[in-house]
C-alpha cells in the first residue's frame, strides 16, 4: 500500500521555534564546533524536551553527525509515547513528516518490511501529537543532507522486540539509529544528579537489564538499543549529561537529559 499525506508539526512554536529562519538559527546555536571525529556514530541517544531545556545537550551528539552529512541517507527514529496508551511499536500511515524546515519522506519500502515484525502496528493517532520524535527532525534536517525516515512510537514493548526491529533495519553507514529519551523526571537537582549518573553509567556499560522506567522515559527503545549494541560489541560514549536545573529551570524539580554516541568496533 502506497502511503500518502503528511503528519503536520504538532509542537512547533511550543517546543521549538515555528519560523524556519528562527529555527535554523536556534539549531546552529545548539551545535558546538567539533573537529572531524575519528568515527561517526552508528546510533545516538538524545533528549526530547523543549529546546530551551535540552537543545544544548542534544546538540552535542548531533554535531558528531556532520562529518557524515552526505553518507547517512536513512534515519530510524524511536521514541516513547506520551499521549496515547500503546502496546507495541507504532508506525505512521503517512508519506511525510513536516517541520518548519520542510518535509521528511517516510522510507516506505523499509516501513513495509518492518510492519511484518512482531509488536509492530500502524497508528497515525499515536504519532499525531507526539513530541518525542518531532523535536529531533529539525536537528536531523540541519546536520544531514537528504534522508528518509522510519519513525516508531513505542508503548509497552519488550526489549527483544525492539532489538529485533533495530537488527532488521541496521544497514550500513547509510543508516543512523536515533533513540529519543530523557532521563529522570521531577527529582530535586541533587537527587537527579545521583540517579542520572547511575543511569548514564549503565548506558555506557550497555547494562540494559538494570534499567527501569524511572531511569528514563524512553526506557523501552533505549533497552532495545542497548541489548542489540551489546550483542554487536559496540562502544558507547557519554557526551553530555545535565538536567533542566543546569539549563533553564529551577533546581527544586528537574528533568534529566543525556546525549550518547554508539560506535561500531571494526
Could you give all domains of the chain from N- to C-terminal order, each with its CATH number?
Answer: 6-263 (3.40.830.10)
pLDDT of residue 4: 84
pLDDT tops 90 at residue 1: no
Report the SS3 class of residue 18: coil
User: What gap in Å lies between CA 236 and CA 70, rounded to an integer?
Assistant: 23
Grid cell in block for residue 226: 542497548
- As a whole number, the mean pLDDT across the chain is 96
Quick one: pLDDT at residue 215?
Answer: 97
Q: Which tops the pLDDT comparison, 38 or 264? A: 264
Residue listed under C-alpha cell 560506535: 263
User: Does 245 have pLDDT greater than 90?
Assistant: yes
Query: What is the mean pLDDT of the segment spanning 127-156?
Result: 97
Pick from 142, 226, 150, 146: which is nearest to 181 by CA?
Answer: 226
- pLDDT above 70 (res 165): yes
At residue 155 the predicted structure's pLDDT band, cuts being 50, 70 and 90, is: very high
For residue 152, the Cα-to-chain-centroid distance in whole angstroms is 10
pLDDT per position as a tens digit, 75-132: 999 999 999 999 999 999 999 999 999 999 999 999 999 999 999 999 999 999 999 9
> Which strand (E) or helix (H) includes residue 150?
strand 148-154
Q: Residue 37 pLDDT > 70, yes or no? A: no
Q: 162 pLDDT exceeds 90? A: yes
pLDDT at 35: 72
Q: What is the mean pLDDT of residues 207-223?
A: 96
Q: Could you count the other beta carbons within 10 Å of the beta carbon of residue 144? A: 21
Q: Give the percent of the chain with pLDDT over 90.
A: 95
pLDDT reported for residue 74: 98
Phi/psi at 43 (nearest 5 deg)?
-145, 155
pLDDT for position 249:
82
**pLDDT tens profile 6-25:** 999 999 999 999 999 999 99
Alpha-carbon distance of 92 to 155, in angstroms, equals 14
Q: What pLDDT score was predicted for residue 34?
A: 81
User: Dihedral sign, CA of 52, 260, 189, 83?
Assistant: positive
Amino acid at each position: 500500500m502506497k502511503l500518502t499525506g503528511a503528519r503536520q508539526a504538532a509542537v512547533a512554536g511550543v517546543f521549538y521555534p515555528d519560523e524556519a529562519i528562527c529555527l535554523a538559527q536556534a539549531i546552529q546555536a545548539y551545535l558546538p564546533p567539533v573537529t572531524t571525529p575519528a568515527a561517526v556514530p552508528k546510533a545516538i541517544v538524545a533528549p526530547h524536551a523543549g529546546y530551551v531545556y535540552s537543545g544544548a545537550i542534544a546538540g552535542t551528539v548531533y554535531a558528531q553527525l556532520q562529518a557524515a552529512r552526505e553518507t547517512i541517507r536513512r534515519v530510524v527514529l524511536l521514541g516513547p509515547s506520551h499521549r496515547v496508551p500503546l502496546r507495541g511499536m507504532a508506525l505512521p500511515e503517512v508519506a511525510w513528516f513536516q517541520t518548519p524546515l520542510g518535509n521528511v519522506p517516510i522510507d516506505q519500502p523499509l516501513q513495509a518490511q518492518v510492519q511484518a515484525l512482531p509488536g509492530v502496528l500502524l497508528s497515525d493517532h499515536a504519532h499525531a501529537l507526539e513530541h518525542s520524535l518531532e523535536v529531533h527532525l529539525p536537528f536531523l534536517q540541519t546536520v544531514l543532507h537528504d534522508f528518509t525516515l522510519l519513525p516508531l512510537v513505542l508503548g509497552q514493548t519488550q526489549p527483544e522486540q525492539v532489538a529485533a526491529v533495530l537488527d532488521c533495519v541496521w544497514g550500513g553507514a547509510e543508516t543512523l539509529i536515533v533513540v529519543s529519551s530523557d532521563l529522570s523526571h521531577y527529582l530535586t537537582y541533587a537527587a537527579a544528579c545521583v540517579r542520572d549518573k547511575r543511569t548514564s553509567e549503565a548506558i555506557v556499560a550497555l547494562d540494559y537489564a538494570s534499567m527501569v522506567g524511572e531511569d528514563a522515559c524512553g526506557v523501552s527503545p533505549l533497552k532495545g538499543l542497548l541489548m542489540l549494541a551489546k550483542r554487536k560489541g559496540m562502544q558507547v560514549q557519554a557526551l553530555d549529561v545535565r538536567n533542566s536545573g543546569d539549563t533553564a529551570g529551577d533546581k527544586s524539580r528537574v528533568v534529566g537529559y543525556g546525549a550518547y554516541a554508539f560506535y561500531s568496533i571494526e
